[in-house]
A and B are shown apart, each in its own frame.
Chain A
Amino acid sequence: MSLTKKTETWVGQHIITREQQQQILAFERSHTNRTFWITAFVIAGILIGLGICLLIAANWQVLPELVKLVGDFALLGVLTYATYWSMQTRKTGLRELFSILSFLAIGATIGLIAQIFHLSGGWTNFAGAWALLGLPFIWLSRSTWINLTWWCLVLTTCPWKHVEKFFSYVWDEFTCLTVLFVIGLYILYNLLKYLVKRFDPYTRLPRAAALLLLASCYLSIAALAALWGLWQTQFPTVLGVHATVFGFLALRLYTAVKEQQITSFKRNAVLTEIYIFLIFMFHTSSLWLSGLGFIGGGLLILILIYCLRQTTRYIKQMEIFK
Protein backbone atom coordinates (compact mmCIF):
# COMPACT_ATOMS: atom_id res chain seq x y z
CA MET A 1 0.00 0.00 0.00
CA SER A 2 1.35 3.47 -0.87
CA LEU A 3 2.10 5.98 1.85
CA THR A 4 -0.68 8.31 0.67
CA LYS A 5 -3.21 5.48 0.98
CA LYS A 6 -1.82 4.40 4.32
CA THR A 7 -1.93 7.88 5.82
CA GLU A 8 -5.41 8.36 4.38
CA THR A 9 -6.53 5.25 6.31
CA TRP A 10 -4.84 6.53 9.46
CA VAL A 11 -6.66 9.86 9.13
CA GLY A 12 -9.90 7.92 8.62
CA GLN A 13 -9.21 5.91 11.78
CA HIS A 14 -8.35 9.15 13.69
CA ILE A 15 -4.82 7.90 14.39
CA ILE A 16 -3.30 11.05 12.91
CA THR A 17 -4.78 14.42 11.95
CA ARG A 18 -5.00 15.79 8.42
CA GLU A 19 -2.23 18.23 9.28
CA GLN A 20 0.05 15.46 10.49
CA GLN A 21 -0.65 13.51 7.31
CA GLN A 22 0.51 16.49 5.24
CA GLN A 23 3.64 16.79 7.39
CA ILE A 24 4.47 13.09 6.97
CA LEU A 25 3.98 13.26 3.20
CA ALA A 26 6.06 16.45 2.94
CA PHE A 27 8.83 14.83 4.99
CA GLU A 28 8.84 11.70 2.83
CA ARG A 29 8.90 13.77 -0.35
CA SER A 30 11.91 15.75 0.87
CA HIS A 31 13.76 12.52 1.63
CA THR A 32 12.83 10.59 -1.48
CA ASN A 33 16.17 11.00 -3.24
CA ARG A 34 18.32 9.81 -0.36
CA THR A 35 18.87 6.35 -1.83
CA PHE A 36 19.56 7.89 -5.18
CA TRP A 37 22.21 10.18 -3.79
CA ILE A 38 23.84 7.36 -1.87
CA THR A 39 23.92 5.35 -5.11
CA ALA A 40 25.36 8.34 -6.92
CA PHE A 41 28.03 8.61 -4.24
CA VAL A 42 28.82 4.90 -4.61
CA ILE A 43 29.20 5.22 -8.39
CA ALA A 44 31.23 8.40 -7.99
CA GLY A 45 33.45 6.57 -5.50
CA ILE A 46 34.02 3.67 -7.83
CA LEU A 47 34.76 6.07 -10.72
CA ILE A 48 37.22 8.06 -8.63
CA GLY A 49 38.82 4.83 -7.44
CA LEU A 50 39.15 3.60 -11.01
CA GLY A 51 40.51 6.99 -12.08
CA ILE A 52 43.21 6.80 -9.40
CA CYS A 53 43.99 3.21 -10.43
CA LEU A 54 44.39 4.35 -14.06
CA LEU A 55 46.62 7.22 -13.06
CA ILE A 56 48.84 4.94 -10.99
CA ALA A 57 48.77 2.19 -13.62
CA ALA A 58 49.97 4.60 -16.31
CA ASN A 59 53.08 5.42 -14.26
CA TRP A 60 53.42 2.08 -12.54
CA GLN A 61 56.73 0.88 -13.91
CA VAL A 62 58.67 4.04 -13.17
CA LEU A 63 57.63 4.08 -9.50
CA PRO A 64 60.04 2.44 -7.01
CA GLU A 65 58.62 -0.25 -4.71
CA LEU A 66 58.88 1.92 -1.62
CA VAL A 67 57.01 4.80 -3.26
CA LYS A 68 54.24 2.43 -4.32
CA LEU A 69 53.88 1.05 -0.81
CA VAL A 70 54.11 4.42 0.98
CA GLY A 71 51.59 5.94 -1.43
CA ASP A 72 49.22 3.03 -1.01
CA PHE A 73 49.40 3.07 2.79
CA ALA A 74 48.96 6.85 2.84
CA LEU A 75 45.86 6.51 0.65
CA LEU A 76 44.45 3.71 2.80
CA GLY A 77 45.15 5.73 5.97
CA VAL A 78 43.46 8.84 4.58
CA LEU A 79 40.43 6.84 3.42
CA THR A 80 40.13 5.08 6.79
CA TYR A 81 40.31 8.43 8.59
CA ALA A 82 37.72 9.87 6.18
CA THR A 83 35.44 6.90 7.00
CA TYR A 84 35.91 7.56 10.72
CA TRP A 85 35.24 11.29 10.26
CA SER A 86 32.07 10.68 8.21
CA MET A 87 30.83 8.25 10.88
CA GLN A 88 31.42 10.77 13.63
CA THR A 89 29.75 13.62 11.73
CA ARG A 90 26.88 11.30 10.64
CA LYS A 91 27.17 12.11 6.95
CA THR A 92 25.39 9.12 5.43
CA GLY A 93 26.38 9.59 1.79
CA LEU A 94 30.03 10.28 2.57
CA ARG A 95 30.14 7.39 5.02
CA GLU A 96 28.97 5.07 2.24
CA LEU A 97 31.49 6.52 -0.19
CA PHE A 98 34.52 6.37 2.12
CA SER A 99 33.63 2.95 3.54
CA ILE A 100 33.47 1.46 0.05
CA LEU A 101 36.70 3.13 -1.00
CA SER A 102 38.47 1.96 2.18
CA PHE A 103 37.16 -1.56 1.72
CA LEU A 104 38.37 -1.58 -1.90
CA ALA A 105 41.70 -0.06 -0.85
CA ILE A 106 42.27 -2.97 1.57
CA GLY A 107 41.93 -5.41 -1.34
CA ALA A 108 44.20 -3.25 -3.50
CA THR A 109 46.83 -3.12 -0.74
CA ILE A 110 46.85 -6.90 -0.34
CA GLY A 111 47.25 -7.22 -4.12
CA LEU A 112 50.07 -4.70 -4.15
CA ILE A 113 51.96 -6.43 -1.32
CA ALA A 114 51.53 -9.79 -3.10
CA GLN A 115 52.89 -8.24 -6.28
CA ILE A 116 55.89 -6.51 -4.71
CA PHE A 117 56.96 -9.52 -2.65
CA HIS A 118 56.02 -12.05 -5.38
CA LEU A 119 53.69 -14.01 -3.11
CA SER A 120 52.25 -17.08 -4.73
CA GLY A 121 48.89 -17.33 -2.99
CA GLY A 122 45.93 -17.59 -5.34
CA TRP A 123 42.45 -16.10 -5.24
CA THR A 124 41.40 -18.10 -2.16
CA ASN A 125 44.19 -16.63 -0.03
CA PHE A 126 43.54 -13.16 -1.41
CA ALA A 127 39.77 -13.26 -0.89
CA GLY A 128 40.18 -14.83 2.57
CA ALA A 129 42.64 -12.15 3.72
CA TRP A 130 40.49 -9.38 2.27
CA ALA A 131 37.34 -10.72 3.92
CA LEU A 132 39.12 -11.05 7.26
CA LEU A 133 40.61 -7.55 7.20
CA GLY A 134 37.36 -6.09 5.90
CA LEU A 135 35.38 -7.40 8.87
CA PRO A 136 35.45 -4.11 10.85
CA PHE A 137 33.84 -2.37 7.88
CA ILE A 138 31.05 -4.95 7.85
CA TRP A 139 30.25 -4.14 11.42
CA LEU A 140 30.73 -0.38 11.39
CA SER A 141 29.75 0.84 7.93
CA ARG A 142 26.27 -0.74 7.68
CA SER A 143 26.72 -0.61 3.93
CA THR A 144 24.70 -3.21 2.03
CA TRP A 145 27.20 -3.03 -0.83
CA ILE A 146 30.12 -3.93 1.46
CA ASN A 147 28.06 -6.66 3.12
CA LEU A 148 27.22 -8.24 -0.21
CA THR A 149 30.78 -7.94 -1.51
CA TRP A 150 32.07 -9.46 1.72
CA TRP A 151 29.73 -12.42 1.34
CA CYS A 152 30.81 -12.86 -2.27
CA LEU A 153 34.45 -12.95 -1.10
CA VAL A 154 33.68 -15.49 1.59
CA LEU A 155 31.67 -17.65 -0.81
CA THR A 156 34.47 -17.69 -3.36
CA THR A 157 36.84 -19.13 -0.77
CA CYS A 158 34.58 -22.19 -0.41
CA PRO A 159 35.31 -25.37 -2.41
CA TRP A 160 32.77 -25.13 -5.20
CA LYS A 161 34.21 -27.90 -7.36
CA HIS A 162 31.46 -30.37 -6.51
CA VAL A 163 28.68 -27.82 -6.92
CA GLU A 164 30.19 -26.87 -10.26
CA LYS A 165 30.18 -30.52 -11.39
CA PHE A 166 26.51 -30.84 -10.52
CA PHE A 167 25.57 -27.67 -12.34
CA SER A 168 27.59 -28.58 -15.41
CA TYR A 169 25.57 -31.78 -15.58
CA VAL A 170 22.33 -29.80 -15.29
CA TRP A 171 23.47 -27.31 -17.93
CA ASP A 172 23.88 -30.17 -20.40
CA GLU A 173 20.13 -30.70 -20.26
CA PHE A 174 19.60 -26.99 -20.31
CA THR A 175 17.03 -26.49 -23.06
CA CYS A 176 14.45 -28.81 -21.52
CA LEU A 177 14.97 -27.40 -18.05
CA THR A 178 14.80 -23.69 -18.85
CA VAL A 179 11.12 -23.28 -18.08
CA LEU A 180 11.35 -25.28 -14.86
CA PHE A 181 14.40 -23.28 -13.90
CA VAL A 182 12.64 -19.92 -14.30
CA ILE A 183 9.58 -21.14 -12.38
CA GLY A 184 11.82 -22.51 -9.61
CA LEU A 185 13.68 -19.23 -9.43
CA TYR A 186 10.46 -17.29 -9.21
CA ILE A 187 9.28 -19.41 -6.28
CA LEU A 188 12.70 -19.11 -4.62
CA TYR A 189 12.68 -15.37 -5.15
CA ASN A 190 9.35 -14.92 -3.41
CA LEU A 191 10.39 -17.21 -0.58
CA LEU A 192 13.55 -15.21 -0.04
CA LYS A 193 11.65 -11.97 -0.24
CA TYR A 194 9.41 -13.23 2.52
CA LEU A 195 12.47 -14.18 4.59
CA VAL A 196 14.07 -10.76 4.10
CA LYS A 197 10.89 -9.12 5.35
CA ARG A 198 10.98 -11.30 8.44
CA PHE A 199 14.52 -10.25 9.35
CA ASP A 200 15.08 -7.45 11.76
CA PRO A 201 16.60 -4.57 9.74
CA TYR A 202 19.52 -4.33 12.18
CA THR A 203 20.66 -7.93 11.83
CA ARG A 204 22.93 -7.00 8.98
CA LEU A 205 24.72 -10.23 8.10
CA PRO A 206 21.79 -12.70 7.83
CA ARG A 207 19.83 -9.99 6.04
CA ALA A 208 22.72 -9.40 3.69
CA ALA A 209 22.95 -13.14 3.06
CA ALA A 210 19.26 -13.26 2.17
CA LEU A 211 19.66 -10.18 -0.03
CA LEU A 212 22.61 -11.83 -1.72
CA LEU A 213 20.49 -14.89 -2.45
CA LEU A 214 17.79 -12.59 -3.78
CA ALA A 215 20.31 -10.94 -6.04
CA SER A 216 21.54 -14.36 -7.07
CA CYS A 217 18.09 -15.06 -8.54
CA TYR A 218 18.65 -12.17 -10.91
CA LEU A 219 22.20 -13.36 -11.52
CA SER A 220 20.88 -16.82 -12.30
CA ILE A 221 18.58 -15.32 -14.90
CA ALA A 222 21.60 -13.51 -16.35
CA ALA A 223 23.56 -16.80 -16.32
CA LEU A 224 20.67 -18.55 -17.99
CA ALA A 225 20.57 -15.82 -20.58
CA ALA A 226 24.31 -16.17 -21.09
CA LEU A 227 23.81 -19.85 -21.80
CA TRP A 228 21.35 -18.89 -24.48
CA GLY A 229 24.30 -17.15 -26.09
CA LEU A 230 24.59 -13.64 -24.71
CA TRP A 231 28.07 -13.27 -26.20
CA GLN A 232 27.05 -14.66 -29.58
CA THR A 233 25.84 -12.55 -32.42
CA GLN A 234 23.36 -14.89 -34.09
CA PHE A 235 19.97 -13.24 -34.06
CA PRO A 236 17.82 -16.13 -32.72
CA THR A 237 20.09 -16.78 -29.70
CA VAL A 238 20.29 -13.08 -28.83
CA LEU A 239 16.53 -12.94 -29.06
CA GLY A 240 16.35 -15.89 -26.67
CA VAL A 241 18.56 -14.06 -24.17
CA HIS A 242 16.54 -10.90 -24.22
CA ALA A 243 13.27 -12.83 -24.10
CA THR A 244 14.45 -14.64 -20.94
CA VAL A 245 15.66 -11.54 -19.14
CA PHE A 246 12.89 -9.18 -20.19
CA GLY A 247 10.33 -11.92 -19.59
CA PHE A 248 11.46 -12.35 -16.00
CA LEU A 249 11.59 -8.60 -15.37
CA ALA A 250 8.19 -8.08 -16.98
CA LEU A 251 6.78 -10.80 -14.74
CA ARG A 252 8.17 -8.99 -11.70
CA LEU A 253 6.79 -5.64 -12.88
CA TYR A 254 3.37 -7.16 -13.48
CA THR A 255 3.31 -8.67 -9.97
CA ALA A 256 4.41 -5.35 -8.49
CA VAL A 257 1.59 -3.50 -10.23
CA LYS A 258 -0.92 -6.14 -9.20
CA GLU A 259 0.16 -5.99 -5.56
CA GLN A 260 0.74 -2.22 -5.70
CA GLN A 261 4.32 -2.58 -4.48
CA ILE A 262 6.07 0.58 -5.53
CA THR A 263 9.51 -0.54 -4.25
CA SER A 264 9.45 -3.76 -6.22
CA PHE A 265 8.22 -1.92 -9.31
CA LYS A 266 10.95 0.69 -8.95
CA ARG A 267 13.67 -1.95 -8.48
CA ASN A 268 12.64 -3.96 -11.52
CA ALA A 269 12.14 -0.89 -13.68
CA VAL A 270 15.66 0.21 -12.74
CA LEU A 271 17.03 -3.26 -13.51
CA THR A 272 15.32 -3.16 -16.90
CA GLU A 273 17.01 0.15 -17.62
CA ILE A 274 20.37 -1.19 -16.46
CA TYR A 275 19.92 -4.21 -18.72
CA ILE A 276 19.15 -1.97 -21.68
CA PHE A 277 22.22 0.06 -20.74
CA LEU A 278 24.33 -3.13 -20.63
CA ILE A 279 23.13 -4.14 -24.09
CA PHE A 280 24.17 -0.71 -25.29
CA MET A 281 27.53 -1.01 -23.51
CA PHE A 282 28.10 -4.46 -25.01
CA HIS A 283 27.62 -3.10 -28.51
CA THR A 284 29.93 -0.18 -27.85
CA SER A 285 32.53 -2.13 -25.88
CA SER A 286 35.41 -0.79 -27.97
CA LEU A 287 34.68 2.59 -26.36
CA TRP A 288 36.19 1.36 -23.11
CA LEU A 289 39.56 0.45 -24.58
CA SER A 290 41.08 3.93 -24.47
CA GLY A 291 41.48 6.62 -21.83
CA LEU A 292 39.15 8.95 -23.71
CA GLY A 293 36.65 6.11 -24.04
CA PHE A 294 36.81 5.59 -20.32
CA ILE A 295 35.72 9.18 -19.76
CA GLY A 296 32.96 8.60 -22.31
CA GLY A 297 31.94 5.51 -20.37
CA GLY A 298 31.85 7.58 -17.17
CA LEU A 299 29.60 10.10 -18.89
CA LEU A 300 27.34 7.28 -20.06
CA ILE A 301 27.03 6.16 -16.44
CA LEU A 302 26.04 9.70 -15.47
CA ILE A 303 23.38 9.65 -18.20
CA LEU A 304 22.15 6.33 -16.80
CA ILE A 305 21.95 7.86 -13.30
CA TYR A 306 19.95 10.76 -14.72
CA CYS A 307 17.58 8.34 -16.48
CA LEU A 308 17.18 6.27 -13.32
CA ARG A 309 16.42 9.38 -11.30
CA GLN A 310 13.79 10.51 -13.77
CA THR A 311 12.28 7.01 -13.83
CA THR A 312 12.00 6.75 -10.05
CA ARG A 313 10.45 10.23 -9.92
CA TYR A 314 7.96 9.29 -12.60
CA ILE A 315 7.08 6.00 -10.92
CA LYS A 316 6.29 7.83 -7.68
CA GLN A 317 3.80 9.99 -9.55
CA MET A 318 2.07 7.01 -11.20
CA GLU A 319 -1.63 6.72 -10.58
CA ILE A 320 -1.54 2.96 -9.94
CA PHE A 321 0.45 3.51 -6.74
CA LYS A 322 -1.75 6.33 -5.41
Chain B
Amino acid sequence: MISKRLQTLMLFLPWMCLLGWTLLLFCTRANGTDVTVAITGYDPRDLLSGHYIAYQPDWTHTDCQQFPDGNCPKELFCKEARWGEQCRFYIPQTDANALDQLFRSSPHNLQFEVIYSYLPGQTPLAKQLLINQIPWQQYLRENP
Protein backbone atom coordinates (compact mmCIF):
# COMPACT_ATOMS: atom_id res chain seq x y z
CA MET B 1 0.00 0.00 0.00
CA ILE B 2 1.42 3.39 -1.01
CA SER B 3 1.49 6.06 1.68
CA LYS B 4 -0.74 9.10 1.30
CA ARG B 5 2.23 11.45 0.99
CA LEU B 6 3.88 9.36 -1.73
CA GLN B 7 0.59 9.11 -3.60
CA THR B 8 0.19 12.91 -3.52
CA LEU B 9 3.77 13.39 -4.67
CA MET B 10 3.40 10.91 -7.51
CA LEU B 11 0.13 12.44 -8.72
CA PHE B 12 1.47 15.98 -8.70
CA LEU B 13 4.87 15.06 -10.15
CA PRO B 14 3.77 15.54 -13.81
CA TRP B 15 2.24 18.90 -12.90
CA MET B 16 5.45 20.03 -11.20
CA CYS B 17 7.64 18.76 -14.07
CA LEU B 18 5.54 20.58 -16.65
CA LEU B 19 5.58 23.76 -14.59
CA GLY B 20 9.35 23.54 -14.20
CA TRP B 21 9.78 23.00 -17.93
CA THR B 22 7.54 25.99 -18.74
CA LEU B 23 9.44 28.25 -16.34
CA LEU B 24 12.74 27.12 -17.84
CA LEU B 25 11.48 27.93 -21.33
CA PHE B 26 10.18 31.30 -20.14
CA CYS B 27 13.56 32.15 -18.58
CA THR B 28 15.47 31.04 -21.69
CA ARG B 29 13.23 33.16 -23.87
CA ALA B 30 13.37 36.18 -21.60
CA ASN B 31 17.13 36.17 -20.98
CA GLY B 32 18.31 35.32 -24.49
CA THR B 33 19.66 37.73 -27.10
CA ASP B 34 17.48 38.28 -30.15
CA VAL B 35 18.99 36.90 -33.35
CA THR B 36 17.35 36.94 -36.79
CA VAL B 37 17.70 33.85 -38.93
CA ALA B 38 16.62 33.66 -42.57
CA ILE B 39 14.44 30.65 -43.29
CA THR B 40 13.47 28.59 -46.27
CA GLY B 41 10.55 26.21 -46.74
CA TYR B 42 11.45 22.66 -45.94
CA ASP B 43 9.51 21.65 -48.99
CA PRO B 44 8.41 24.58 -51.19
CA ARG B 45 5.20 22.82 -52.09
CA ASP B 46 4.27 22.45 -48.45
CA LEU B 47 5.53 25.41 -46.46
CA LEU B 48 2.42 25.32 -44.35
CA SER B 49 1.73 21.96 -42.90
CA GLY B 50 -1.33 22.07 -40.70
CA HIS B 51 -1.20 25.05 -38.42
CA TYR B 52 2.52 25.49 -38.30
CA ILE B 53 5.17 26.55 -40.73
CA ALA B 54 7.73 23.85 -41.41
CA TYR B 55 11.03 25.45 -42.32
CA GLN B 56 14.79 25.13 -42.26
CA PRO B 57 17.28 27.88 -41.35
CA ASP B 58 18.84 29.35 -44.47
CA TRP B 59 22.39 29.91 -43.25
CA THR B 60 23.62 31.37 -46.55
CA HIS B 61 21.34 34.40 -46.08
CA THR B 62 21.84 34.74 -42.33
CA ASP B 63 24.22 37.26 -40.78
CA CYS B 64 26.45 35.17 -38.50
CA GLN B 65 28.04 38.30 -36.96
CA GLN B 66 25.03 38.67 -34.68
CA PHE B 67 26.16 35.60 -32.70
CA PRO B 68 28.73 36.17 -29.92
CA ASP B 69 31.74 34.54 -31.62
CA GLY B 70 30.72 35.44 -35.17
CA ASN B 71 29.87 31.84 -36.07
CA CYS B 72 26.39 30.48 -36.72
CA PRO B 73 25.74 27.70 -34.17
CA LYS B 74 23.87 25.57 -36.73
CA GLU B 75 23.82 22.43 -34.58
CA LEU B 76 21.80 24.16 -31.84
CA PHE B 77 18.84 25.13 -34.00
CA CYS B 78 15.81 22.83 -34.05
CA LYS B 79 17.81 20.21 -32.18
CA GLU B 80 14.63 18.45 -31.05
CA ALA B 81 13.30 18.10 -34.60
CA ARG B 82 13.98 14.66 -35.99
CA TRP B 83 11.73 14.15 -38.96
CA GLY B 84 13.68 15.74 -41.84
CA GLU B 85 15.11 18.20 -39.30
CA GLN B 86 12.40 20.73 -39.99
CA CYS B 87 11.70 23.52 -37.54
CA ARG B 88 8.20 24.66 -36.68
CA PHE B 89 6.53 27.98 -36.15
CA TYR B 90 2.93 27.69 -34.98
CA ILE B 91 0.34 30.02 -36.46
CA PRO B 92 -3.42 30.35 -35.81
CA GLN B 93 -5.65 28.24 -37.99
CA THR B 94 -7.55 31.25 -39.35
CA ASP B 95 -4.38 32.83 -40.76
CA ALA B 96 -2.89 29.65 -42.19
CA ASN B 97 -4.57 29.92 -45.59
CA ALA B 98 -3.74 33.59 -46.05
CA LEU B 99 -0.09 32.95 -45.26
CA ASP B 100 0.00 29.93 -47.52
CA GLN B 101 -1.49 31.86 -50.44
CA LEU B 102 0.94 34.70 -49.81
CA PHE B 103 3.87 32.38 -50.09
CA ARG B 104 2.54 30.62 -53.16
CA SER B 105 1.58 33.80 -55.04
CA SER B 106 4.93 35.61 -54.74
CA PRO B 107 7.63 33.37 -53.31
CA HIS B 108 10.54 35.34 -54.83
CA ASN B 109 9.54 38.79 -53.57
CA LEU B 110 9.21 37.77 -49.96
CA GLN B 111 11.89 37.24 -47.39
CA PHE B 112 10.95 35.00 -44.48
CA GLU B 113 12.92 35.29 -41.23
CA VAL B 114 12.49 34.09 -37.67
CA ILE B 115 13.61 35.99 -34.58
CA TYR B 116 15.10 33.60 -32.04
CA SER B 117 15.96 34.10 -28.41
CA TYR B 118 19.52 32.83 -28.21
CA LEU B 119 21.54 31.80 -25.16
CA PRO B 120 24.95 30.24 -25.90
CA GLY B 121 24.88 26.46 -25.53
CA GLN B 122 21.08 26.20 -25.37
CA THR B 123 18.46 25.43 -27.99
CA PRO B 124 17.26 28.82 -29.30
CA LEU B 125 13.54 29.53 -29.01
CA ALA B 126 11.57 31.03 -31.90
CA LYS B 127 9.80 34.25 -30.98
CA GLN B 128 8.53 35.93 -34.10
CA LEU B 129 8.12 35.27 -37.81
CA LEU B 130 9.04 38.16 -40.08
CA ILE B 131 7.98 38.72 -43.67
CA ASN B 132 10.14 41.36 -45.37
CA GLN B 133 11.45 42.46 -41.96
CA ILE B 134 8.04 43.11 -40.41
CA PRO B 135 6.01 40.80 -38.11
CA TRP B 136 3.81 38.48 -40.13
CA GLN B 137 0.57 39.65 -38.47
CA GLN B 138 1.33 43.25 -39.38
CA TYR B 139 2.32 42.22 -42.90
CA LEU B 140 -0.97 40.39 -43.41
CA ARG B 141 -2.92 43.40 -42.08
CA GLU B 142 -1.12 45.78 -44.41
CA ASN B 143 -1.26 43.45 -47.41
CA PRO B 144 -4.68 41.81 -47.27
Q: Is B90's CB within 8 Å of the partner chain A?
A: yes
* Pairwise interchain contact A80-B11, C-beta atoms closer than 8 A: yes
* Pairwise interchain contact B21-A125, C-beta atoms closer than 8 A: no
Chain B positions within 8 Å of A61 at CB level: 92, 94
* Pairwise interchain contact A77-B83, C-beta atoms closer than 8 A: no
Q: Which of A80, A118, A122 contacts B15 (CB 8 A)?
A: A80
* Pairwise interchain contact A76-B18, C-beta atoms closer than 8 A: yes
Q: Is A84's CB within 8 Å of the partner chain B?
A: yes
With A115-B90, A117-B125, A120-B87 given, is the CB distance from A76 to B81 under 8 Å?
no
* Pairwise interchain contact A113-B18, C-beta atoms closer than 8 A: yes
Contact-residue size bin, chain B (C-beta under 8 Å from the other chain)? 20 to 34
Q: Is B7's CB within 8 Å of the partner chain A?
A: yes
With A73-B18, A125-B80 given, is the CB distance from A120 to B86 under 8 Å?
yes
* Pairwise interchain contact A133-B81, C-beta atoms closer than 8 A: no
How many A-B pairs have beta carbons closer than 8 Å: the answer is 79
Q: Is A83's CB within 8 Å of the partner chain B?
A: yes
| A117→B82 CA distance, assembly (Å) | 17
* Pairwise interchain contact B25-A117, C-beta atoms closer than 8 A: yes
* Pairwise interchain contact A119-B12, C-beta atoms closer than 8 A: no
| A83→B19 CA distance, assembly (Å) | 19
* Pairwise interchain contact B19-A122, C-beta atoms closer than 8 A: no
* Pairwise interchain contact B80-A121, C-beta atoms closer than 8 A: yes
* Pairwise interchain contact A140-B90, C-beta atoms closer than 8 A: no
Q: Is A299's CB within 8 Å of the partner chain B?
A: no
* Pairwise interchain contact B90-A122, C-beta atoms closer than 8 A: no
* Pairwise interchain contact B12-A87, C-beta atoms closer than 8 A: no
- Tell me the chain A residues, 38-91 only, with Cβ under 8 Å from chain B: 60-61, 69, 73, 76-77, 80, 83-84, 87-88
Q: Is B144's CB within 8 Å of the partner chain A?
A: no
* Pairwise interchain contact B10-A73, C-beta atoms closer than 8 A: no
Contact digits for B68-109, partner A, Cβ 8 Å, 1 yes 0 no: 000000000010111100111110101000000000000000
Q: Which of B7, B25, B82 contacts A122 (CB 8 A)?
A: B82
- Tell me the chain A residues, 263-295 only, with Cβ under 8 Å from chain B: none
With A121-B80, A140-B10 given, is the CB distance from A76 to B92 under 8 Å?
no
* Pairwise interchain contact A136-B10, C-beta atoms closer than 8 A: yes
Q: Is A15's CB within 8 Å of the partner chain B?
A: no
* Pairwise interchain contact B126-A118, C-beta atoms closer than 8 A: yes
Q: Which of B7, B21, B52, B82 contacts A84 (CB 8 A)?
A: B7
* Pairwise interchain contact A118-B88, C-beta atoms closer than 8 A: yes
Chain A positions within 8 Å of B87 at CB level: 118, 120
| A102→B15 CA distance, assembly (Å) | 10
- For this complex, 20 residue pairs linking A to B, each with C-beta atoms less than 8 Å apart, are A76-B18, A80-B11, A80-B12, A80-B14, A106-B18, A113-B18, A117-B25, A117-B29, A117-B125, A118-B88, A118-B90, A120-B78, A120-B80, A120-B87, A120-B88, A121-B80, A122-B81, A122-B82, A124-B82, A134-B14
Interface residues of A (CB under 8 A from B): 60-61, 69, 73, 76-77, 80, 83-84, 87-88, 102, 106, 109-110, 113-122, 124-125, 133-134, 136-137, 139-140
| 6 additional contacts (CB under 8 A) given A80-B14, A113-B21 | A113-B25, A116-B90, A125-B82, A134-B14, A136-B14, A140-B10
Across the A-B interface, the 6 shortest Cβ-Cβ residue pairs: A120-B81, A118-B126, A133-B14, A121-B80, A136-B10, A120-B78
Interface residues of B (CB under 8 A from A): 2, 4, 7-8, 10-15, 17-19, 21-22, 25, 29, 52, 78, 80-83, 86-90, 92, 94, 125-127
